[in-house]
């Protein structure tokens, strides 16, 4: 069993008004050394796959087909194999 | 004068969370006296309907992204088939977002630049009148239609924008851009000219009681194109 942790953000070239607004708030707290604040989505899912490669392929497919819209979003993900204890727990 | 029998058969799709489906149904059925039916999203066929309205609202609660889930609903497979065969499809507001997600129109709609939900009547210019959606607006340069959205900021890459301009696919532009939309785009159609997507609501501007009738001619143009 594998866990996929997926992050989806607006593409770098696109202005992220939510990120900008939050950045202004952070700066008003006194943290002047903050920049390039981006807000995105985090998706976590479990995949019953036979190998890390298969889990990778499935996750990439899901991202392309549904989770991210390539016109406006980029995605990155990390796949980790669950330990036996984690599998038993779930 | 006797009215010529219309050949238009409107189908208004209903997703969980649609909320302009009844506005569209009312305007088409009761004001324009057209054969109009609702189509539930679980149905697999649009049946005998020849004009499909993908209405506004918050299909599937706008989960994940506006329109992202609705495009995979059962009925959309047949809507895509209908569009690919040259059938008429109009996506309004959330319907526009769904048509972009479904790949029937290029680009995407992102959050309004000021992060606000905009709800007001806005002036629009009609950029192209040589199509089945705006043919009857001859002599009219500017119309006013209501908008009501938080994600109406049209976005596409430079090549797509150039292609939209070159093929005269931009149908409506905002005179006073309310959402940050690229090139002031309010509505576009596909290259073939049978699929229209727009953020403003023509179905909410078909009778005087709602302070505007500028949307009427859009539907009348479509009806005329089929007769």
pLDDT tens, residue by residue, A18-64? 999 999 999 999 999 999 999 999 999 999 999 999 999 999 999 99
Option in A14, A17, A67 nearest B155 (CB) = A14
Which CATH number describes the domain made up of B9-226? 3.40.50.880
B20 as an active site residue: the answer is no
The nearest alpha carbon in chain A to B158 belongs to A71
The nearest alpha carbon in chain B to A14 belongs to B155
A14 CB within 8 Å of a chain B CB: yes
| B window 44-73, beta carbon within 8 A of A | 64-65, 68, 72
Closest chain B C-alpha to A84 CA, distance in angstroms: 31
A88 pLDDT higher than 90: no
The answer to whether residues B107 and B160 touch, using CB atoms and an 8 Å cutoff, is yes
The answer to whether residues B106 and B183 touch, using CB atoms and an 8 Å cutoff, is no
pTM: 0.93
B203 as an active site residue: the answer is yes
Angle at B74 between CA B69 and CA B78, to 5 degrees: 115
Mean pLDDT of successive 10-residue stretches along chain B, which has 227 residues: 76 97 98 97 97 97 95 97 98 98 97 94 97 95 96 96 98 98 98 98 96 96 95
Walk me through the domains of chain A, giving residue ranges and CATH numbers: 2-89 (3.30.1280.10)
Neighbours of B17 (CB within 10 A): 16
């Amino acid at each position: 069993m594998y866990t996929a942790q997926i992050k989806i953000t607006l593409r770098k070239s696109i202005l992220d008004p939510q990120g900008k607004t939050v950045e202004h708030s952070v700066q008003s707290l006194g943290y002047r050394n903050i920049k390039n604040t981006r807000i995105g989505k985090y998706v976590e899912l479990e995949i019953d796959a036979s190998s890390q490669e298969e889990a990778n392929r499935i996750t990439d497919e899901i991202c392309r087909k549904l989770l991210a819209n390539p016109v406006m979003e980029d995605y990155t993900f990390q796949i980790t194999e669950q330990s036996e204890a984690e599998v038993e727990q779930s | 004068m006797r009215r010529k029998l219309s050949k238009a058969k409107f189908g208004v799709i209903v997703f969980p969370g649609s909320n302009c489906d009844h506005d569209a149904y009312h305007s088409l059925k009761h004001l324009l006296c057209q054969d109009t039916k609702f189509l539930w999203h679980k149905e697999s066929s649009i049946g005998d309907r020849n004009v499909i309205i993908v209405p506004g609202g918050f299909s599937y609660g706008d989960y994940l992204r506006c329109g992202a889930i609705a495009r995979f609903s059962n009925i959309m497979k047949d809507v895509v088939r209908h569009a690919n065969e040259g059938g008429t499809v109009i996506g309004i507001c959330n319907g526009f977002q769904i048509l972009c997600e479904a790949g029937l129109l290029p680009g995407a709609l992102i959050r309004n630049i000021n992060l606000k939900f905009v709800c007001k009547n806005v002036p629009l210019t009609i950029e192209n009148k040589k199509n089945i959606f705006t043919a009857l607006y001859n002599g009219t340069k500017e119309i006013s239609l209501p908008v009501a959205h938080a994600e109406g900021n049209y976005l596409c890459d430079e090549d797509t924008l150039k292609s939209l301009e070159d093929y005269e696919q931009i149908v409506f532009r905002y005179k006073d851009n309310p959402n940050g939309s690229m090139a002031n785009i309010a509505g576009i159609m596909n290259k073939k000219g049978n699929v229209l997507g727009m953020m403003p609501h023509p179905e909410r501007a078909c009778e005087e009681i709602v302070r505007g009738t500028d949307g009427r001619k859009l539907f009348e143009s479509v009806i005329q194109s089929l007769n």
